Structure 1
C-alpha cells in the first residue's frame, strides 16, 4: 500500500474508532441523563412521571406488552391503574384497572375520554405513542378513594361548609389515625384547621405546587370543592418527599455521570498523549536529520542510538515507525544523493583548479616564447639574418595559431556545455564516410610508423550525422591512438552493428591507460597539459568529443589495459528505417 493511502487509512481508522467511542459515550450519557430526568420527575410528581415514563419503557410486539414489574408496583403505590389500547380500540394490556372498565372502546368513547378526562367517574391521563412499535393509546386512571372520603366527611360533618363543634372529636380521631390534617377555605380565606401537624397558611400557588409536585413536599393534597357554598376542603396526607442532595455528588447516578465524564476525559488525554508520542518521535528524528544535512554531515544520516530506536535486530522497521518507512527511505536516498553531490562538487572544484592551472600553463608557454622573441627584436642588440627572422616569425605565428586554437576550443567547450550549438545533420553512408576519414591518416607520410586499418560492414549503413562535428570526434580518437602510443602501434577502426546500436570502434595495441586516467578521461582539463608534447595536446579534445557524441544521442565507451592497448567505442542508435529508405 502506498504511503499516502496507508496514512489516509491509518488516520481514517483512528477517526472511526474515536467517533464510535464518542458516539457510544454520548448515547450512554444521554441514557443516563434521561434516566436521571425520569427519576427526578418520578420523585417530584410520581403520577406525571409514570405517565411520561411507562410509554417509553414498555415493549410491544404483535400486541404483546412486556413491562417490568417495578412499574406495576409504582402504579399500585400511587393508587393508579393503566390500560393500553391498540389501533382497533381493543385493550391489549391492563394493570390494576377496575373490573368495571370496558375491554374495548369505540371512537365515541375515546373522544369522550379526551374531552372530559374521565372514565366512569375516574379521573384519567392519556398518552398517544406512535414511535417504535406502532400506534397505541395509553390510559392512566386514578383511584378516587380520597375524594369519595372527603365527600362523605363533608356530608357528615359540615354545617354551612364548616365542621361543627360536636363533630370535631370524631373527625379528629379519623385524621389522627391517618396522620393527616384538614384545612377549610372559604372564599380564599383559611377559616378552619383540624388535626395535628398543621402548617402555617400556605399561598394559593404553594397548594397548587403540592398537587403538581407532591414529591417536593412532606404532604400530598386531596381537595373537595362544594360549588353551593364555594367552600374547599383540603386534606393533607403524609407524602414521600424527594431527597434533596446537599452536594452534587451525593446522588449515585450523578456520581456515575461525573465518573463517566472524567473517564472519557482521561481517555481523550491518554489518546492525545499517545498520538503525540506516536507522531512526535518521528518528527524529532526528521529534525535531527535536517540539522545534520544543514551541517553537511550527509554520511551520518542516523546515529547508532537512533538506529536501535528505529530498526529491529533483523533490520526491519519497528511497528511504531512503520507508517513512515517510505519517508525514512526517501531521507536515506536524499542523503546519499547529497553526499554524492558533495563528493562530485569537491571533484569538480579540484578539476576546475587543475583546468585553470592547465590553461595557465598552456598559455604561459607560447606567451613566454612570443615575449622572449619580442624582447630580442625590441632590444636592437642582435643582428638577425633573413633566415633567422623568417624562423622567428614562423615560431611566433605557430604559437599564435596554437593560442587561437586554444581560445577557440575554450569557446567551443562553453558552447557545448550550454547547448548553444545546433547540429546540421545529413544522411551519410557510414562506411564510405569513415573510410574517407581513415584514408587521410593512412596517406599522412609522417605516420608511416603506424599501421592504420579500417573494417566496415558488409551492407550499406546510413545515419543522420553532422559531418563537420562528427569528423572532429573521429579525428580526435584516431589522433589520440597515434599520439599517445609508440611507433609500430597497430590502430584498427571498425564498424559493428547489432539490432539496436551502431558501434564505431577505434582500437590500438599500445601502452594503454590506468583506471584513474580512464575515470577522468573526459574531464575538460585532466592531464593533457604537458606542452612538451605536441602543441595541440591541451587536454580538451576528449571532453569536446564526448559532448558532440552526446548531442548526437550517443555515448562513448572506453576499455583499456596497461601494456595491452585501448579500445574507444562510439555507440549510436541504429536507424533501420533510414537504411531501408536509402536502399
Structure 2
C-alpha cells in the first residue's frame, strides 16, 4: 500500500473514530438530559408523568399482586401523596400511603363527583386508566389539597364588599402561618384587593396565560397557586402558597439547571476531545515528520546517520530493527531517506578516495613528466656547454636518449587525452568483421619477440573453430599490448601468461560473440586494487620507472573495449594469479544501445 493510501486510510479511520466519539458523548449527554427532564417532570407534574410511568413499569406477580417501581413510590411519598388501585366495582385492590379519611370503596358516580369537584373532597385527585398485559389498571392518585381547602375556607368565610376584603381572624392566622397571600382579581385580571401580599415582587395584574401557567407549573414560580371564580361578582379569588423547597422567583426556568450543565458538559467534552485528538495527531503524524525533517537537516550538515535516542537506537526502529507503529505509514519515505543517506555516505567516501587517487595521479604524472624533462634538460645543457667537446657517438647517444624521453612524454600525453575522449564518448572507432583467432595469434607472436618480456612466457590457445568479431584492429592491438605488459611486467619474472579465445554463448546464432581470456599465475591483486584497476587516477606501477607505462593503460583498455561494444571482467586474489576476460556478446551490445 502506498503512502497516499495509508495516509488516506489513517485519516479516514481517525475521522470516523472522532465522529463516533462525538456521537457517544452527545448520546450520553442526551441520555442524561432525558433522565433529568423526566425527573424534573416527575417533580413538577407527577400526576401526569409519574402515573403513566408507574403503570408502564408495573410488574404483575404470579399471585396477582402488582409490583411498582420503588423510585416512583418514593416520589409519591415525597409529594405527600397516596395511591389506590380500583377494580371495576370501585373496590380498592391495592393502596399506598392512603390516609384514613380516604374511602376504600367508591359507589358508581361517587368517584366521578369527587374527581370533577362536584362533591367536596379533602385531596386533589388524579385518575388514570391503562391496560397492561390484559388487565385494566385504574389508578387513583391523591395529593394533599391544603391550598384548595384554605382557599375554600377563605371564600366561604370571607367577604369582599366596597373594595374591601374581610376575613375571619382564624382564617387570617391560617394564611399567615402558611406564608401565603390572597388576591381578588376583576374581569380584566387587575387586582382589586389582597391580604398578606408581599411588598415587592408580586404582580398587580394577570393575564389568562399567567393564571394558567401559575396554576399548571407551580415549581416554575416557586409557589402553588389555586383559583376560585365567583360567578355572581365575576371576580377571581387567587391564593398563592410558597413551596417549601423552592422559594418564589428562585428558578424562572425549571429546566435551566438541566440544559445549562448539559451544554457546558458537551462543549467541554468536545473541546477536550479536540485537544486530545490534536495531541494524538501531532504524535501520530507530526512527530514522524519532524523526525524525517531532522534527518534531512543532518544530511544537509553532512551527518548521514538517522537521529537516535539516548541509547543510540534510531527513534523510528524497534530493538528488532522493524519500524515503530507510528512510522509505518511513512515506510517508503523513510526507506528513501535511508537510501539517500547510504548513497551520500558512499559518495562522500568515493569523493575522498577519488580525491586521494587524483592527488596520487597528479603526483605520479608530475613525476613522470619531470623525470624525462629533467633528462632532456640535462642532455640539452650538456650539448650546449662550450667547454665540452662531444664525439659523434656521444652526441648520437644523447640524441637517442632524448628521443626516447620525448616519445614517452608523447605517449603519456596521448594516453591522458585518450582517457578523456573515451570517458566523454568522443572516440568511436570503426569496427570490422575480423578473424579473432588469426588476429590474436599474430599479436601474441609479436609480444613474444619483445625482449622485455622474456622467452616462453606467453601461450596462445585459439578456439577450436573459427571465431569472428567486430573489432577495430589498431585499438584491439593496443588492448592486447596493455594487458600483456600489465601481466608480465608487474609480476615476478617466472610468471606465465595464457591467452585463450572462446566462442561466446550466442556463437552460431549471431556473429561477433566471443571471449578472450588473459590468465596469469602471478602474485594476484587484492579487491581494493581490482576495484581501482581501471581508475584513470590510479597508478599501480612505479612512477619512478617511466619506461613501464604511463599508469593509464588499464583505463584506456577498458575505454577501448567499451567503445567497441564489449565489456571487461577481472577476477583475482593475492598469490592466486589474475584472470581478465574480454567479452563481446548480445548483452554487451544491448547494454550499449
* TM bucket normalised to smaller: 0.5 to 0.7
What is aligned with 1:365?
371
Is 1:526–2:574 an aligned residue pair?
no
Q: Secondary structure at the match of 1:307?
A: coil
Distance 1:226 1:474, change over 3 A: farther
Q: Secondary structure at the match of 1:20?
A: helix
Is 1:216–2:217 an aligned residue pair?
no
Counterpart contact for 1:504–1:569, Cα < 8 Å: yes
Deviation at 1:412, TM superposition (A): 1.8
Structure 2 counterparts to residues 182-201 of structure 1, below 5 A: 182-186=182-186, 189-193=190-194, 197-199=196-198
C-alpha distance in 2, partners of 1:174/1:41?
Answer: 30
C-alpha distance in 1, partners of 2:239/2:10?
Answer: 69
Deviation track 1:437-494 (CA, whole Å, cap 9, x = no partner) reads 4454357688672454433334444545555544432332123334445667543221
Deviation at 1:156, TM superposition (A): 7.8
Across the aligned residues of Structure 1 and Structure 2, the Cα RMSD in angstroms comes to 6.0
Deviation at 1:538, TM superposition (A): 0.9
Q: Secondary structure at the match of 2:312?
A: helix
Deviation track 1:535-557 (CA, whole Å, cap 9, x = no partner) reads x6111000121233345352321
C-alpha distance in 2, partners of 1:309/1:576?
Answer: 45
Distance 1:577 1:528, change over 3 A: closer
What is aligned with 2:585?
573
Counterpart contact for 1:416–1:544, Cα < 8 Å: yes
C-alpha distance in 1, partners of 2:505/2:269?
Answer: 75
C-alpha distance in 2, partners of 1:576/1:545?
Answer: 16
Deviation at 1:19, TM superposition (A): 3.7
Counterpart contact for 2:519–2:579, Cα < 8 Å: yes
C-alpha distance in 2, partners of 1:68/1:46?
Answer: 17
Deviation track 1:119-151 (CA, whole Å, cap 9, x = no partner) reads xxxxxxxxxxxxxxxxxxxxxxxx9x9999999
- 1:474 alignment partner, one of 477, 480, 498: 480
Q: Secondary structure at the match of 1:408?
A: helix
Counterpart contact for 2:148–2:226, Cα < 8 Å: no
What is aligned with 2:312?
306
Could you tell which deviates more after superposition, 469-478 or 225-234? 225-234
Deviation track 1:512-569 (CA, whole Å, cap 9, x = no partner) reads 55666445322323132535352x611100012123334535232132554x643222
Deviation at 1:410, TM superposition (A): 1.3
What is aligned with 1:374?
380
Counterpart contact for 1:435–1:454, Cα < 8 Å: yes
Deviation at 1:426, TM superposition (A): 4.4
Distance 1:468 1:441, change over 3 A: same
Structure 2 counterparts to residues 279-298 of structure 1, below 5 A: 296=302
Is 1:408–2:421 an aligned residue pair?
no
C-alpha distance in 2, partners of 1:559/1:29?
Answer: 81
Counterpart contact for 1:514–1:560, Cα < 8 Å: yes
Could you tell which deviates more after superposition, 348-357 or 542-551? 542-551
What is aligned with 1:137?
none
What is aligned with 1:542?
554
Distance 1:148 1:281, change over 3 A: closer
Distance 1:406 1:303, change over 3 A: farther
Structure 2 counterparts to residues 172-571 of structure 1, below 5 A: 182-186=182-186, 189-193=190-194, 197-199=196-198, 202-205=203-206, 207-208=210-211, 210-211=214-215, 213-223=217-227, 231-236=235-240, 242=246, 244=250, 296=302, 305-307=311-313, 315-317=319-321, 323=327, 335-384=341-390, 389-422=395-428, 424-441=430-447, 449-484=455-490, 490-497=496-503, 499=505, 502-510=514-522, 512-513=524-525, 517-524=529-536, 525-530=538-543, 532=545, 534=547, 537-551=549-563, 552=565, 554-559=567-572, 561-562=574-575, 565-571=577-583
C-alpha distance in 2, partners of 1:162/1:9?
Answer: 86
The gaps in structure 1 that reach 5 residues or longer are 60-66, 80-98, 102-142, 579-583
Q: TM-score, normalised by structure 1?
A: 0.63
Distance 1:281 1:229, change over 3 A: closer
Deviation at 1:210, TM superposition (A): 2.8
The gaps in structure 2 that reach 5 residues or longer are 58-67, 82-106, 110-142, 507-512
Q: TM-score, normalised by structure 2?
A: 0.63
Distance 1:415 1:17, change over 3 A: same
Distance 1:485 1:190, change over 3 A: closer
Deviation at 1:316, TM superposition (A): 1.4
C-alpha distance in 1, partners of 2:442/2:108?
Answer: 132
